[in-house]
Amino acid sequence: MKIKVKLFEGGKMPQVNDNGDLFDVFSREEVSLRAPQAGVLKQVNNKKLRDVEFSNALIPLGFAMEIPKGFKANLYPRSSTYKKWGIIFGNHVGQVDSSFRGNNDEWLVSAIALKATEIHAGDKIAQFEIVPSSKATIWQKMKWLFSNKIEFIQVESLENADRGGFGTSGTR
């Protein structure tokens, strides 16, 4: 299966993880996140309640991708992501469907910091897999079973309409 990929400035192509079956992806930008901040934010029934505010960021991964119809990507944190940076993903597993294929539909990671951290451009922070979606036809699933080698092809433009960016499913 050949999949078109458009890189943004500073972006890197997804890479096959030599020690596993997933594709590694990298931060495109420097990101600073601060440690959680505790404070009194509200009062209920004459009691002061302490709440915690977590620093968060959308970390650009540097590419847009034309996933074939009938397939989707599952975007996961790497097993070392929390250990190295103290972040968790806001949606735990990102679901990227085949409609998120516009020229400006850059993949992002929704990161929540549980400690102060610095993520540098080029840091390997996530991984993904391409799998058949619930809308895949029996023929797409059969083809997938017998030939699941994926090849990424870098292109200048995906020539598809933008869906509107990260977090836009269900907004149309």
- The residues assigned a catalytic role are 97
Taking alpha carbons only, the member of 130, 126, 147 closest to residue 5 is 130
Taking alpha carbons only, the member of 103, 106, 107, 108 closest to residue 161 is 103
Q: Are 107 and 12 in contact (CB under 8 A)?
A: no
Q: Pull the structure tokens for residue 19.
A: 């020690």
CA 63/CA 78 separation, integer angstroms: 18
User: What is the Rg, in whole angstroms, of the alpha carbon atoms belonging to the chain?
Assistant: 18
H or E segment to which residue 82 belongs: helix 81-85
Query: Across the strands, what pairs with 30?
Result: none
CA 151/CA 52 separation, integer angstroms: 44
